[in-house]
């Protein structure tokens, strides 16, 4: 098998190397006769920490459409995807060497009629424990809760379950060896989940200074999905006639989103990048989230690390392209740390040691 050769600064360190790929692994030992593939800035495979494969706007989509979503993510440089809930059985993706590595969270667990239709396993409190146990078995070490959603009787965002029920759910998942994450827009749902030892918060627009300190202390991660929160003004406008309180809650969360995210960063909360891809229009766009994290105030290396080396380490992968590591990386024509928009144009994508794009 011919070795492949790449040349250029290898991030995050930035030292210039000849990087060779032999049998799916990285080596810096010179390989005579290697085929030179590309020169440029070499970045460890990107990680989409919040994505949904097999999900469209109305629920589960076909296997063909799911495959197109995964290919779009891969071609955008996302070589490891943490799926944050899907009704589809996507285990077949894990048998395909040409598709991104995938960590699944099973199906979202939500309160009855308190989430997007056809997405979640919708349950009442009495059935929450069994649903969590089931999804812990179905996933790859993660369970996804819908922490809060509009309660049409109250006319505002409210937690899906009581703090006691959430604490029990987190314990059941942990006892089954699974970590837990939750969709959380508002504040009220957060204290109980953080106190219960939840592992990650998705969106987290309701975070306050006391809560980010508690997260930092416990090492609770945050995937802020900055691009996705751009839908808040639209949600507020659509809800205004019937649910004015909810509309004003969403408007307020949106207005404070920069301050909220920067307080989490300043407190030391581990942050990761998620595209919230669902439906074909939102796949292959992780680079937009990295740019958005930077525009909102994170330094470029923090924003890119949140979508690459730090996220890889968080999910149990080799963070950097060390000798012997999996050959999952992207080559760019220019330095992404000088201009993150370069991430939209990979010059070469290498997955499991094979040039795929
Ligand atoms: Zn999502």
pLDDT in tens, 244-294: 999 999 999 999 999 999 999 999 999 999 999 876 568 999 999 999 999
- Binning pLDDT at 50, 70 and 90, where does residue 2 land? confident
Taking residues 152-176, what's their average pLDDT? 98
Query: Ligand 1 centre and the CA of 267: distance in Å?
Result: 24
Tell me the per-residue pLDDT of 14-43, one tens digit each, with 9 for 90 and over. 999 999 999 999 999 999 999 999 999 999
Query: Ligand 1 centre and the CA of 52: distance in Å?
Result: 6
Query: Ligand 1 centre and the CA of 77: distance in Å?
Result: 19
What are the backbone angles phi and psi of residue 147, rounded to the nearest 5°?
A: -75, -40
Cis ω before 12 (30° cut-off from 0): yes
Decide if pLDDT at 1 tops 90. Answer: no
Give percent above pLDDT 90 in the chain.
97
| pLDDT score, position 278 | 72
200 forms bridges with which residues in the sheet?
181, 221
Decide if pLDDT at 175 tops 90. Answer: yes
Query: Ligand 1 centre and the CA of 25: distance in Å?
Result: 32
Residue pair 112/160 in contact (Cβ under 8 Å)? The answer is: no
Query: What are the distances in angstroms from CA 342 to CA 40, 77, 279?
Result: 11, 12, 24
Tell me the per-residue pLDDT of 80-134, one tens digit each, with 9 for 90 and over. 999 999 999 999 999 999 999 999 999 999 999 999 999 999 999 999 999 999 9
| pLDDT score, position 227 | 96
Query: Ligand 1 centre and the CA of 44: distance in Å?
Result: 24
Give CA–CA dist 306/298, Å, rounded: 10
Query: Ligand 1 centre and the CA of 200: distance in Å?
Result: 13
Give CA–CA dist 119/22, Å, rounded: 41
Query: Ligand 1 centre and the CA of 40: distance in Å?
Result: 33
Task: Report the chain's mean pLDDT, rounded to a whole number.
Answer: 97
Taking residues 319-334, what's their average pLDDT? 98
Decide if pLDDT at 165 tops 80. Answer: yes
Query: Ligand 1 centre and the CA of 84: distance in Å?
Result: 6
Query: Ligand 1 centre and the CA of 269: distance in Å?
Result: 20
Give CA–CA dist 257/333, Å, rounded: 33
Query: Ligand 1 centre and the CA of 276: distance in Å?
Result: 5
**What are the residues whose beta carbons fall under 8 Å from the beta carbon of 160, sequence distance 6 or more?**
110, 111, 114, 145, 146, 147, 148, 149, 189
| pLDDT score, position 107 | 97
Query: What are the distances in angstroms from CA 197 to CA 182, 188, 191, 242?
Result: 12, 16, 10, 36
Query: Ligand 1 centre and the CA of 58: distance in Å?
Result: 14
Query: Ligand 1 centre and the CA of 225: distance in Å?
Result: 8
| pLDDT score, position 163 | 98
Query: Ligand 1 centre and the CA of 158: distance in Å?
Result: 18
**Residue 230: HSE in the Cβ half-sphere, 13 Å Cα cutoff:** 10
Give CA–CA dist 62/84, Å, rounded: 18
Give CA–CA dist 154/170, Å, rounded: 26
Tell me the per-residue pLDDT of 292-317, one tens digit each, with 9 for 90 and over. 999 999 999 999 999 999 999 999 99
Query: Ligand 1 centre and the CA of 325: distance in Å?
Result: 30
Decide if pLDDT at 61 tops 90. Answer: yes
Helices 232-239, 244-255: axis angle to 10 degrees equals 160
Taking residues 229-254, what's their average pLDDT? 97
| HEC assignment per residue over the chain | CCCEEEEEEECCCCEEEEEEEECCEEECCCCCCCEEEEECEEEECEEEEEECCCEECCEECCHHHHHHHHHHHHHCCEEEEEECCCCCCCHHHHHCCCCCEEECCCCCEEECCCCCCCCCEEECHHHHHHHHHHHHHHCCCEEEEECEEEECCCCEEEECCCHHHHHHHHHHHHHCCCEEEEEECCCCCHHHHHHCCCCEEEECCCCCHHHHHHHHHHCCEEECCCCHHHHHHHHHHHHCCCCHHHHHHHHHHHHCHHHHHHHHHHHCCCECCCCCECCHHHCCCHHHHHHHHHHHCCCHHHHHHCCCHHHHHHCCCCCCCCCCCECCEEEECCCCCCCHHHHHCCCEEEECCEECC
Give CA–CA dist 62/261, Å, rounded: 36
Give CA–CA dist 87/175, Å, rounded: 23
| pLDDT score, position 281 | 67
């Amino acid at each position: 098998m011919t070795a492949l050769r790449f040349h250029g600064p290898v991030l995050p360190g930035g030292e210039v190397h000849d990087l060779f790929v032999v049998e799916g692994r990285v080596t810096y030992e010179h390989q005579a006769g290697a085929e030179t593939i590309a020169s440029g800035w070499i970045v460890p495979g990107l990680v989409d920490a919040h994505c949904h494969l097999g999900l469209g706007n109305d629920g589960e989509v076909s296997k063909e459409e799911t495959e197109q979503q995964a290919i779009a993510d891969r071609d955008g440089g996302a070589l490891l995807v943490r799926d944050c809930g899907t009704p589809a059985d996507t285990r077949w993706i894990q048998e395909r060497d040409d598709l991104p590595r995938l960590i699944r969270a099973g199906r979202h667990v939500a309160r009855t009629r308190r989430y997007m239709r056809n997405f979640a396993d919708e349950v009442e409190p009495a059935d929450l424990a069994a649903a969590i146990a089931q999804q812990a078995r179905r996933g790859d070490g993660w369970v996804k809760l819908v922490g809060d959603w509009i309660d049409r009787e109250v006319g505002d965002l409210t937690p899906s379950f009581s703090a006691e029920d959430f604490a029990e759910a987190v314990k059941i998942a942990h006892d089954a060896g699974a970590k837990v994450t939750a969709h959380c827009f508002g504040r009220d749902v957060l204290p109980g989940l953080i106190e219960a030892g939840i592992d990650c918060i998705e969106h987290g627009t309701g975070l306050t200074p006391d809560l980010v300190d508690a997260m930092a202390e416990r090492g609770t991660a945050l995937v802020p999905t900055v691009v996705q929160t751009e839908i808040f003004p639209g949600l507020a406008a659509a809800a205004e006639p019937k649910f004015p309180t909810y509309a004003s809650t969403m408007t307020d969360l949106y207005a404070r989103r920069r301050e909220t995210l920067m307080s989490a960063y300043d407190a030391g909360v581990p942050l990761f990048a998620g595209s919230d891809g669902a439906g074909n229009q939102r796949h292959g766009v992780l680079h937009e989230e990295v740019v958005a994290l930077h525009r909102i105030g994170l330094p470029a290396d923090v924003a890119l690390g949140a979508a690459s080396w730090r996220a890889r380490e968080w999910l149990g992968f080799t963070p950097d392209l060390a000798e012997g590591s999996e050959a999952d990386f992207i080559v760019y024509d220019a330095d992404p740390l000088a201009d993150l928009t370069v991430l939209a144009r990979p010059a070469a994508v290498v997955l499991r040691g094979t040039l795929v794009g």
